[in-house]
Structure 1
Amino acid sequence: MKPMFASAALTLALFAALPQQARAEDPIESRKQIEAIIKAFGKAMADKDRDGFLRLFLREDITWVGAYTDGSVARYRASLKDPKEPSPKTSSSTPRKFIDRIISAPEARTETFENVRIDTDGDMAQVLFDYSFMVGDYRNNWGKESWQLVRTEHGWKIAAVVWSAEENPAPRPGI
């Protein structure tokens, strides 16, 4: 029994000797850093800042998937010349394609974040919030959005983005 206690004591002593940055950060500090990522995401969109936006992600090929509501899919199908043509319930893309569409759009495209909930242990995090995607002053779509984040040696990075989308049934003014 003594060797087991000695082994546990040695493990604890080694862990205590690790530099502070090698340990999981304080969850309160992690929350502040994650909140800064959320603000940076919105600012990069508003500023059409491709490099700043892409720096927020672990890689460019992360999961990036939207799930459209049944009502949105039905409205899309009704707008087709051939309503039998299949319309997707989900869409996938990449952070680069997303920010490039924003940069190329003549009008401002922004996202609001409400009811933000962050759950973290200091090394990984789940962020869930209600969002509205705005095209100028028009509320284009809205729903829930979920991010998975990991803390790397370069700070927090978004590792996956999944959202639901209710497309606005009211046409955009001027179109």
Structure 2
Amino acid sequence: MLPRNVALFAATLLATSFAHAATPAPASTTAKAEISQLVDAFKAAIIAKDGTKLGTLFVAGNSSWFSAMDSASLERTRAKKPDAKRVRAEPEAYKGFTSFVGSTTHAIEETFDNVRIDTDGIVGSVYFDYVFLLDRKPTNHGNETWQVVRTDEGWKINAMLYSVILDPAK
């Protein structure tokens, strides 16, 4: 009787592994691809200076931005603005950024390296190293992280936190 149970158990395991192989990719795999498209749309909107498109990538009315400077950058900034803060909470700052992107006459770009996306298919986070370029010259760099959420209109950026390390003026 024991060999029959072992054979039945082995057959069950084998069938389960085939069933698992035929299962479609988890929702988080699809969601990661969709969030990656959000990242690409963000970069493309900056290069195209399309502030309107960039604005559609955020949760309207509920987005927040926080930035934090390293000590050397804070010292340089305080030389010009003595009341500059190391950490700035900037609710709805995306509106000012989208306005800048849409109106600047300079070539602008934000590069992203080491992009990491984590999601359960409903909410997610994006973390990467960035460099902001103005007229093809780096102005600042650091780490950036987004909180993203799946809305009825697709994935949107709800919150952003980034470090600011000023690059030397050339």
TM-score (norm 2): 0.78
- Shift in alpha-carbon separation, 1:110–1:60, aligned structure 2, 3 A: farther
Aligned residues of 2:127 and 2:145 also touching (Cα < 8 A): yes
Larger radius of gyration: 2
Gaps of 5+ in 1: 1-24
Q: Which residue matches 2:150?
A: 151
Aligned residues of 1:60 and 1:96 also touching (Cα < 8 A): no
CA shift for structure 1 position 60 = 4.1
Q: Which residue matches 1:36?
A: 37
CA shift for structure 1 position 118 = 0.6
Aligned residues of 1:61 and 1:94 also touching (Cα < 8 A): no
1:113-142 Cα offsets, whole Å, 9 max, x none, are: 100011100000011100000101110000
Aligned residues of 1:54 and 1:60 also touching (Cα < 8 A): no
Q: Which residue matches 2:96?
A: 97
Aligned amino acid, residue 87 of structure 2:
T
Aligned residues of 2:51 and 2:100 also touching (Cα < 8 A): no
Gaps of 5+ in 2: 1-25
Q: Distance in 1 between matches of 2:34 and 2:40?
A: 10
Q: Which residue matches 2:64?
A: 63
Aligned residues of 1:123 and 1:151 also touching (Cα < 8 A): yes
1:102-123 Cα offsets, whole Å, 9 max, x none, are: 2222211110010001110000
1:72-92 Cα offsets, whole Å, 9 max, x none, are: 011222346xxxx32221232
Q: SS of the counterpart of 1:87?
A: coil
Q: SS of the counterpart of 1:40?
A: helix
Q: Does 34-43 or 102-111 show the bigger shift?
A: 102-111
Aligned residues of 2:109 and 2:136 also touching (Cα < 8 A): no
Task: Note the aligned Cα RMSD (angstroms).
Answer: 1.5
Kindly report structure 1 stretches of 4+ aligned residues shifted beyond 6 Å: none
Q: Distance in 1 between matches of 2:84 and 2:148?
A: 31
Q: Which residue matches 1:171?
A: 169
CA shift for structure 1 position 58 = 1.2
% identical equivalent positions = 33
Q: Distance in 1 between matches of 2:153 and 2:78?
A: 44
The answer to whether the aligner puts 1:88 opposite 2:85 as a matched pair is yes
Aligned residues of 2:62 and 2:158 also touching (Cα < 8 A): no
Q: SS of the counterpart of 2:128?
A: strand
Aligned residues of 2:34 and 2:155 also touching (Cα < 8 A): yes
TM-score (norm 1): 0.76
Q: Which residue matches 1:115?
A: 114
Q: Distance in 2 between matches of 1:101 and 1:71?
A: 26
